[in-house]
A and B are shown apart, each in its own frame.
Chain A
Amino acid sequence: MSTAALPSTFGNGLSRGRVELLMFVRDRTALVFTFLFPALLLLLFGTIFGKDQDQAGVSASQVYAASMIAYGILNTGFITMGAGLALDREDGTLKRLRGTPLTVTAYLIGKLTLVLFLSVAEAAVLIGVGALVFDLKLPDASHWLTFAWLFVLSVVACSLIGVAVSAIVRHARTAGAILNVPVVALQFISGVFIHPITQLPHWLINIASIFPVKWMSQGFRYVFLPDSMKSLEAAGQWELGRTALVLGAWCVIGLVLCLVTFRWSERDR
């Protein structure tokens, strides 16, 4: 009988993360569809709605470039996590890992590592497209600091909700379709696809304000757009404090849902 100590959960989590990344980059379909789709949408929207600058010297395409980072995180966080978990449940990954001494925490650290890498890369691609194609101006250091916490809170909240939602996705092949419903709907009402958000009826803005996407896109607009653009926001303010609060709350809700709903297998009774 062995007396050696069990390897650490954190180390195992990083090892999972490495393998998750390897598998992701080797799967060309995932790479193209989840990863490059937001950039493609940005190019489309940016081109369709034009580079003409308005009163504040900001073009519609620049607004899209900023807002679309929220979409990027939804895609890499919520969709990758939700669909990835459903797939892991279906192809035997979870069953396999459950037969080993790996902990649930280590498994989730692995997924979160994947999501963090993807989200950073996705944000870099979107900001790159914004800067190179649509003359998006890169902000100063203090705005980058805001970007950092906003980014981390957004990724964590979206990922945790993705884990929780995966519990109701029964089959991996329908995961994309199911998960995209809230993603697309929320983007229409959260000021990502339709800007300024004030064009929407009040009650719809109120609904959007419950969910993280509105706060994420608003936050990214604060980071990349001139201060005067705040007049086009729902409250006429950037509301950074409230943004942090709402996203923080979603992290907590996501974590609780995650702990309550996470299942290693399809029919665990």
Chain B
Amino acid sequence: MTAIEVQGLRKVYRGHEAVAGIDLAVARGEVFALLGPNGAGKTTTVEILEGHRRRDGGEVRVLGEDPGAAGRAWRARIGVVLQDADDAADLTVREMVRHIAGFYPDPRPADEVIELVGLTAKRNSKIRALSGGQRRRVDVALGIVGRPELVFLDEPTTGFDPQARRQFWDLIRALAAEGTTILLTTHYLDEAEALADRLAVLADGRIVAQGTPATLGGRAAAGAKVAWKGHTEQVADPTPLLHRLVADNEDLSTLTITRPTLEDIYLNLIGADR
């Protein structure tokens, strides 16, 4: 079953093609990451999928419906996690979660969601008084309180400290484990690698590569770079070389073997190393 199906999606802003023909398919229960530099068209794509922006071309199906024409019942089945809102500052976490829950036919209990995002100790604090990371966790709580089948997260961990990001990742994994489909955009490569089942890299409104974190852009076949005292060699398989080095009694005290990181592949894909 597919949660998201996109064919030939296009969006033009003042003559500039922000999205220039994208094809995507996200299966139910999958965690899918859209990667790309700023201005690549990630947010525009997500907003079209959420039904918040009109498209100029292409076919889009989200949970079986066209987001541009879907109604309230469809909206109740998706969850949108905002990235930069600071609304409801004068409400407490609990008041706001309960308030938003009231818009859905079958919401999760507010306290359960607050527990899930780790804000139980802060549930009676005004949202105004929360730290940036806590504020974003409220956003997640509000995005999932309606028991969505599909959750959109647009750059969810921007501005998080490392510990908050780890906690956030655990939360996303917990949601995914429940069978929720997740589409996230990010420009953190480690985040995509840690969370995504599959990912696509967007540059200039086009998908330049699609795959799993392990195989994206030919990463699996890219070989390894072996470096030791004064030498470097690029090889497909380092095994024979290492045998030879040992046999030759080379000084291996500074030996390193590096395979391309997702970041190397990514930078290569978006053309940043040219």
Asked if B272 is at the interface of the complex by the 8 Å CB criterion, the answer is no
* Count of chain A residues near B, Cβ 8 A: 30
Contact assessment for A88 and B53 in the assembled complex, using a CB-CB cutoff below 8 Å: no
A15: B residues at CB distance < 8 A? 99, 102
A175 to chain B, nearest CB (A): 16
Interface residues as binary, B146-173 with A (CB distance below 8 Å gives 1, 0 otherwise): 1101000000000000000000000000
Contact assessment for B103 and A7 in the assembled complex, using a CB-CB cutoff below 8 Å: yes
Contact assessment for A269 and B53 in the assembled complex, using a CB-CB cutoff below 8 Å: yes
Residue of B91, B102, B149 most packed against chain A (CB within 10 A):
B102
B197: A residues at CB distance < 8 A? none
From A1, A2, A22, contact of B90 by CB (8 A): A22
* Count of chain B residues near A, Cβ 8 A: 36
Contact assessment for B84 and A92 in the assembled complex, using a CB-CB cutoff below 8 Å: yes
Asked if A260 is at the interface of the complex by the 8 Å CB criterion, the answer is no
B84: A residues at CB distance < 8 A? 92
From B52, B73, B95, contact of A6 by CB (8 A): B73
Bound: A4/B106 CA distance, A:
6
Contact assessment for A7 and B105 in the assembled complex, using a CB-CB cutoff below 8 Å: yes
Main secondary structure of the interface of A (DSSP, over half): loop
**Which of chain A's residues 10-67 have a Cβ closer than 8 Å to chain B?**
11-12, 15, 19, 22-23, 26-27
B202 to chain A, nearest CB (A): 20
Bound: A100/B80 CA distance, A:
8
Interface residues as binary, B49-62 with A (CB distance below 8 Å gives 1, 0 otherwise): 01011100000000
Asked if A102 is at the interface of the complex by the 8 Å CB criterion, the answer is yes
B80 nearest CB neighbor, chain A only: A99
Contact assessment for B95 and A22 in the assembled complex, using a CB-CB cutoff below 8 Å: yes
Asked if A206 is at the interface of the complex by the 8 Å CB criterion, the answer is no
A99 to chain B, nearest CB (A): 3
Bound: A4/B76 CA distance, A:
11
Asked if A98 is at the interface of the complex by the 8 Å CB criterion, the answer is yes
Contact assessment for A23 and B90 in the assembled complex, using a CB-CB cutoff below 8 Å: yes
B101 to chain A, nearest CB (A): 10
B53: A residues at CB distance < 8 A? 268-269
Bound: A22/B82 CA distance, A:
23
Asked if A103 is at the interface of the complex by the 8 Å CB criterion, the answer is yes
Bound: A5/B105 CA distance, A:
5
B103: A residues at CB distance < 8 A? 7, 12, 100-102
Residues of B within 8 A of A (CB): 13, 50, 52-54, 72-73, 75-80, 82, 84-91, 95, 99-100, 102-106, 126, 142-143, 146-147, 149
Closest 5 CB pairs of A and B: A92-B85, A99-B80, A4-B105, A2-B106, A93-B87
Contacts A12-B102, A92-B87 aside, 19 further interface pairs with beta carbons under 8 A come to: A1-B77, A4-B105, A6-B73, A6-B76, A6-B105, A12-B103, A22-B95, A23-B88, A91-B87, A95-B82, A95-B85, A99-B50, A99-B80, A99-B82, A99-B143, A100-B100, A101-B104, A101-B105, A101-B146
